[in-house]
Amino acid sequence: MMTARSGLPPAGAGRQLPPLALASLLAILALFAVLGHEGRRVAQTLVLAAPMLAWLAWPVRHAGLARLRAVAAWLWIMAFVLDGSVRAYLLSAYQAAPESSFVLGAIANTGVREGSEYLVTQWRPLTLWTLLSVSAAVLVWRLIAQARPAPQARPSRWIMAGLALVVVIGAVGHASKPWRRLHPVAFWPDWGRSVAALRDNWADEQHERDEALRRALLDRPTVAWAGRSTVVMVISDSINRDNLSLYGYRRPTTPRLAALKEMEGERMLVLRNAWSADASTLPALRNMMGFGAPGRPDARHLLALARAAGYKTFWMSNHDDVAVDQQHARLADVVDLVNRTPGRSSASLDGGLLDCLQEAMHDPAGRKFIVVHLQGAHPHYGLRFPAGFAPFDAAADAVEADLVRSGRSLWLRRFRQQYDAALLYHDFVVAEMLHTTRAEGRADDRRAFVYLSDHGQEVGHESDRAGHSPGTAAGYRIPAIVWRSEPFADAALISARPFRADWVAWTMADLLGLDWAARQPGANVLDPAYAWQPPVLPIAVRSFTD
Ligand SMILES: [Zn+2]
């Protein structure tokens, strides 16, 4: 607080902020601009924020106006502080900007329950950023409150020129549209509209589905054999193959699948080098169902094509997801969504789909294509297995030792234990589903089963972080399994081929026996004509076969 000063200010002097307080405010603005933006945008953001500092430097006489200015300045500066915090959090967690399709899609598609699960997994970084923002709020207010009577009646000519320059440059920034869009007050309402528009687009995709079916019928796809056929496609979520013992992981996370592999031999392929082309669910599913080119005007949808060829199609899901529902599930003849009760986390275990699959296997239709959409190990990992299940919690094993050696924090190692527990439960679900596909229903069915994940997951593989990961290879390393009632002649050869999930529809078409003019054997991992091309990923991948 200011005490009485010896040199009295001139009578009627206005209140202004002293230089040190102004410099501190500028430093705070610069800090959050640097945290949340990159390159030129740091300077542009500061230019947009600066006119308020010029006003604070100006002596204001009227006490009411000075109070109003203090509140306005605090709100203005805090808008930039919060903007910087949110952007910095998204950058550190996902290497993504708020307006990226990754973030927009995730927000538009997040329900209340998913949102709260997310807050649980991310509470540490979120608490950190909240604390930082609250501290900034207090500090900014205390700095603004240091306004005191000006030493001179009017500022010097130089200072006036300087302030005018700041205001002029700020005005230029506000006048330019792309520049002005960086202002938090303009940016976030705009961002909210983008999220709402995306949600609206999803709300009714009936037209898109009708189009997909119409195009598929025009293709007149046929089935390569006359007899009965059942194909099951299990799409999981957030499974990184590096954590499956089937792929060499040192915790026994997949005993059941490994036993099946042992038993099934040449009928079961474990594709060693499987990659997703996307790091999040919606683009991954669009690519998988859309033959790797879902945006093209002549795009095909796998479900539509199977239906057009005479398959009875099923979509059963443990996801509560409007976009997936609209873009894929509703194309099927039978839709079974077991997870429609927000807040009942126990109801969301993937095992709840086992009965649905059994039922579908006994459906009398001669040709069936059954898609099963699992939650797999989608965050929060702790909700992906039954309560009390803790197979790796006391782990003092090689995995734990490796994590300690690479400096992974305690909380990350705890997440890894939960993640691996989710995988062990997942092993039970997927192995049961494969078992059901093999054994249930009529004996004369030709059968096939494919299992893969929509994308990978980072759980301390390359950084001290857990979650979806567009910025590391862990976000793209997925498992993929193909099983068929007839053995594969060249099982070892196929298993070693690199495989990309956005091409999986070409392989599914093979297993369904579909034939149509646009068939591409080069994209089908089972075909002798398979011609691998690496997917374009936002990260550098040393080798797709390591
Ligand atoms: Zn996903």
Distance 431 CA to ligand 1 centre (A): 20
Name the residue with tokens 């197979």.
Answer: 391
User: How is the chain split among helix, strand and coil, in percent rounded to 5?
Assistant: 55, 10, 35
Q: Is the peptide bond before 455 cis (omega within 30 degrees of 0)?
A: no
Residue that terminates a domain, selected from 165, 185, 200? 200
For every residue of 219-267, DSSP letters joined together read H--EES-SS-EEEEEEEESS--GGG-GGGT-SS---HHHHHHHHHHGGG
Do β-strands 222-223 and 514-515 pair in parallel, antiparallel, or remain unpaired? antiparallel
Rounded to an integer, what distance in angstroms lies between the CA atom of residue 544 and that of residue 275? 8
> Which CATH number goes with the domain that contains 442?
3.40.720.10
Do β-strands 334-337 and 367-373 pair in parallel, antiparallel, or remain unpaired? unpaired
18-45 confidence digits (pLDDT tens): 999 999 999 999 999 999 998 888 999 9
Whether residue 276 sits in one domain with residue 186: no
Q: Is residue 1 situated within a structural domain? A: no
Whether residue 159 sits in one domain with residue 239: no
Distance 378 CA to ligand 1 centre (A): 6
Whether residue 164 sits in one domain with residue 67: yes
- Against a cut of 0.85, is the pTM above it? no
Whether residue 178 sits in one domain with residue 53: yes
Whether residue 262 sits in one domain with residue 168: no
Residue that terminates a domain, selected from 200, 233, 263? 200
Whether residue 357 sits in one domain with residue 406: yes
Whether residue 153 sits in one domain with residue 28: yes
Burial of 137 from C-beta contacts in 10 A (0-12 / 13-18 / 19+): middle
Q: What is the pLDDT of residue 9?
A: 56
Whether residue 191 sits in one domain with residue 132: yes
Structural domain count of the chain: 2
The residues placing their C-beta within 5 Å of ligand 1, an ion, are 237, 281, 454
Whether residue 244 sits in one domain with residue 191: no
288-313 in b/e form (b: 16+ CB < 10 A) is: bbbbbebeeeebbbbbbbbbbbebbb
Q: Is residue 3 situated within a structural domain? A: no
Rounded to an integer, what distance in angstroms lies between the CA atom of residue 84 and that of residue 75? 14
Rounded to an integer, what distance in angstroms lies between the CA atom of residue 15 and that of residue 151? 9
471-488 confidence digits (pLDDT tens): 999 999 999 999 999 999
Q: Is residue 218 situated within a structural domain? A: no
Distance 184 CA to ligand 1 centre (A): 30
Q: What is the pLDDT of residue 11?
A: 56
Alpha carbon separation from 325 to 109, 111, 170, 317, 374 (Å, rounded): 11, 14, 47, 9, 13
**Nearest CA-CA partner of 233 in 515, 505, 523:** 505
Distance 236 CA to ligand 1 centre (A): 8
Whether residue 238 sits in one domain with residue 163: no
Q: How confident is the model at residue 342 (pLDDT cuts 50, 70, 90)?
A: very low
Q: Is residue 206 situated within a structural domain? A: no
Distance 44 CA to ligand 1 centre (A): 35
Q: Is residue 289 situated within a structural domain? A: no
Distance 341 CA to ligand 1 centre (A): 20
> Above 70 in pLDDT, residue 331?
yes
> Above 60 in pLDDT, residue 4?
no
Q: Is residue 236 situated within a structural domain? A: yes
Query: Is residue 12 left, alpha or beta, with left meaning phi > 0 and alpha meaning psi from -120 to 50?
Result: left
Tokens of 366: 């001669």
Whether residue 378 sits in one domain with residue 247: yes
Distance 441 CA to ligand 1 centre (A): 30
Q: Is residue 8 situated within a structural domain? A: no
Distance 281 CA to ligand 1 centre (A): 4
Q: Is residue 149 situated within a structural domain? A: yes
Q: What is the pLDDT of residue 340?
A: 53
Distance 459 CA to ligand 1 centre (A): 14
Q: What is the mean pLDDT of residues 331-352?
A: 71
Distance 485 CA to ligand 1 centre (A): 29
> Above 90 in pLDDT, residue 273?
yes
> 113: domain range?
15-200
Distance 454 CA to ligand 1 centre (A): 5
Distance 523 CA to ligand 1 centre (A): 23
Whether residue 245 sits in one domain with residue 185: no
Q: Are 172 and 33 in contact (CB under 8 A)?
A: no
